[in-house]
């Protein structure tokens, strides 16, 4: 039986999402106290909102980011299908609950990763990848910028899952060293950040393996066709109305986003 505290916390986040607003805290006595509770809230939000999901987002795949957030392991969130865009994308800026972007490396799976007798490693997940895609995540938060819930609140809020813009699929991705792959993020033609693929657990493939094992531990599994964005290579960057954003991943390709002004 789900505890009243979990239900109240999940209801708070669901109402905020559906009403397009942000809250500073959970109801009294419902603030997540550890990772298990935070993840349980996120899972309850998923179950109660329903709908079709377009992929997964990972966060905290960089140890520096985890330390800053005060959490001990990476986290995940579901991206709703209506929030997945193809590059070049146009997203209305007023619709955003949080106006920030970050470049990420995403995978589309060609086969399932079902439960088995041992954990998946990098060499196990690589063969099931159908394509690698350059991506821009727009992480959104149902919690306000001055929220008092810390990193656990972020985990409970689907890891701040929001929108995902996907660039062209690269099918011959094995020619690319994903750990060394450099991404630059430009806003209105000016480079504002850059990073490399090793920011995601040393290699994005390790991040994918982590999610595969995490899903199995929760009685779930990754399936063919799912898209997984493996974590920020640069950290979040703020954007403003009318901005044109371009993430350049070199041999992997580019992904573009314009924030429309209504």
- The token duo for 83 is 């929030």
Q: Would residue 8 count as lying in a domain? A: no
Q: Would residue 140 count as lying in a domain? A: yes
CATH of the domain at 214: 3.90.850.10
* Per-residue pLDDT at 177: 98
* Per-residue pLDDT at 64: 86
Q: Would residue 81 count as lying in a domain? A: yes
Mean pLDDT, to the nearest integer, of 90-100?
94
How many residues are listed for the chain in this entry? 262
Chain mean position to CA 250: 22
Chain mean position to CA 74: 11
* Per-residue pLDDT at 61: 93
pLDDT at position 1 over 70:
no
Q: Would residue 162 count as lying in a domain? A: yes
Confidence band, pLDDT 50/70/90 cuts, at residue 200: very high
* Per-residue pLDDT at 34: 94
Q: Are 48 and 63 in contact (CB under 8 A)?
A: no
Tally of structural domains, the chain: 1
Q: Would residue 35 count as lying in a domain? A: no
Q: Would residue 206 count as lying in a domain? A: yes
Q: Would residue 27 count as lying in a domain? A: no
- How far is 109 from 111, CA to CA, in rounded Å? 6
Domain that holds residue 141: 52-260
Q: Would residue 68 count as lying in a domain? A: yes
């Amino acid at each position: 039986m789900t505890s009243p505290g979990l239900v109240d916390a999940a209801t708070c986040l669901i109402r905020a999402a559906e009403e397009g607003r942000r809250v500073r805290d959970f109801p009294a006595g419902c603030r997540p106290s550890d990772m298990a509770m935070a993840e349980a809230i996120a899972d309850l939000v998923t179950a109660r909102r329903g709908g079709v999901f377009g992929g997964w987002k990972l966060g905290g795949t960089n140890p520096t980011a985890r330390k800053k957030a005060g959490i001990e392991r990476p986290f995940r969130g579901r991206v709703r299908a209506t929030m997945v865009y193809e590059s070049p994308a146009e997203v209305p800026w007023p619709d955003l609950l949080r106006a920030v972007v970050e470049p990420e490396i995403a995978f589309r799976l060609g086969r399932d990763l079902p439960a088995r007798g041992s954990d998946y490693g990098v060499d196990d997940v690589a063969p099931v990848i159908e394509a690698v895609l350059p991506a821009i995540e727009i992480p959104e938060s149902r919690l306000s910028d001055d929220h008092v819930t810390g990193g656990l609140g972020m985990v409970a809020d689907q890891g701040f899952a929001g929108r995902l813009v996907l660039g062209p699929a690269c099918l011959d991705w094995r020619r690319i060293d994903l750990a060394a792959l450099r991404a630059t993020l430009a806003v209105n033609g000016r480079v504002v950040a850059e990073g490399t693929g090793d920011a995601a657990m040393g290699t994005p493939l390790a991040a994918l393996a982590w999610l595969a094992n995490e899903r199995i531990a929760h009685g779930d599994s990754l399936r063919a066709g799912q898209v997984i964005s493996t974590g920020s290579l640069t950290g979040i960057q703020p954007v403003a109305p009318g901005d044109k954003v371009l993430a350049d991943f070199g041999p992997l390709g580019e992904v573009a986003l314009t924030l429309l002004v209504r």
